[in-house]
Amino acid sequence: MTSTAIRGFYRLCLSTLIAVYFLILVGGIVRSTGSGMGCPDWPKCFGSWTPPTSIEQLPSNYKENFSAYRDKKNQKFARYLRLIGMNETADQIISDKSILKEANFNPVKTWIEYINRLVGVAIGLFIILLFYKSIPFKRTKPELFWLSFATLIVVIFQGWFGSIVVSTNLTQWTITVYLFLALLIVGFLMFLLHKSDEIRNPIRKSVNYWLLIGCIFVLLVQILFGTEVRGSIDILSGSLPRDSWIGQLGADFIMHRSFSWVVLILNTLFFLQIRKTIAFKTLSRAVFLLILCSLATGVTMAYFNMPAAIQPIHLLGATIAFGLQLLMFFRMNNAMVNN
């Protein structure tokens, strides 16, 4: 295994990771603009690889056609759910006819969603290339090969599950699963980044290992709370003006808002303890600033009627912080093993 090859693999990991974060940002824009159902089918958009630009390009019964298409797909998905014992969820998907309701054609939302899918395709190509580049390391660095393979499998599964998100009309739990699949991919890529960089950048053992685990856990829980709030907003956005959303959110929003203090306190303690550690000085500072950014954007949304431009930034800040926390975790874990 040459140093040139490992450096090339490291750079490809970094490029792929940046691309994944860009996809998360674009996905946030899709949700904040209500464009998730801009294309009612998958992987095509209105039955074509190039989406329409006006309603005149669609047949008069396009709503009925795509509703029937999604119903057929949901019936098949329900069978899969029953095979793994999720009978209640399967029954809910089949019985909830509101899932089959088609949105009116909106060319702006259609193209926002289509661009999101193009970025997703680019990510898939990055991951395929990453796996291909990992093959020479199968003997000398098998963890790079097998984790690249696992990342490819997760990306393929996420691509398929993206079609389920569309066919179930953005059902809340499917969006949550889709987001956590993205976080799993981030985790895999961060580990690959760490393993392809550790040879050139060994580090010493740190005493902040368990505090960091706590920080990762509470941030992950906070992201979960955030997806619940976002799901409630999706429901409210269809019937209420934007300036009334916050007042109608209820317990989900209160939990998300209150738990942000837990996230801030733990990450502040971690930052104060580790800020003088040379190996993690830059990473810990970046995480702390990202946590502050997520808190600030959350306050902005709460007090300024959920501006659509802020929502993707709020999500992106939290997911980047999560990824950098994982990178510190992998490096600390490696140091503890080697000491």
Q: What is the pLDDT of residues 296-317, one digit of tens each?
A: 999 998 888 888 889 899 999 9
The predicted model gives 97-115 an average pLDDT of 89
Q: What pLDDT, on a 0 to 100 scale, did the predictor assign at position 96?
A: 86
Residue 222's pLDDT band, with cuts at 50, 70 and 90, is very high
Q: CA nearest 246: which of 262, 232, 228?
A: 232
- Arithmetic mean of pLDDT, 102-131: 93
Neighbours of 242 (CB within 10 A): 13
| Confidence check: pLDDT of 336 > 90 | no
Question: Tokens 């007042």 appear where?
Answer: 247
| pLDDT at residue 80 tops 70 | yes
What is the predicted pLDDT for the residue at 169? 86
pLDDT grade for 103, boundaries at 50, 70 and 90 = confident
d(CA 99, CA 176): 17
Question: Tell me, what's the pLDDT at 248?
Answer: 81
Round the average pLDDT of the chain to a whole number and report it: 87
Q: Kindly state the tokens that stand for 7.
A: 């450096």
Note whether 286 and 266 are within 8 A (CB).
no
**d(C-alpha 89, C-alpha 222), whole Å:** 24
Looking at the chain, the whole-number percentage of residues with pLDDT higher than 70 is: 93
Distance between CA atoms of residues 328 and 117, nearest Å = 31
Confidence of residue 153 (pLDDT cuts 50, 70, 90): very high
What pLDDT, on the 0 to 100 scale, is given for residue 284?
87
Assigned token pair, 85:
């014992």
pTM of the model: 0.88
Span 25-37, average pLDDT: 88
CA angle 43, 46, 51 (to 5 degrees): 90
Mean pLDDT to the nearest integer, 95-109:
87
Q: Which pLDDT score, from 0 to 100, does residue 334 have?
A: 66
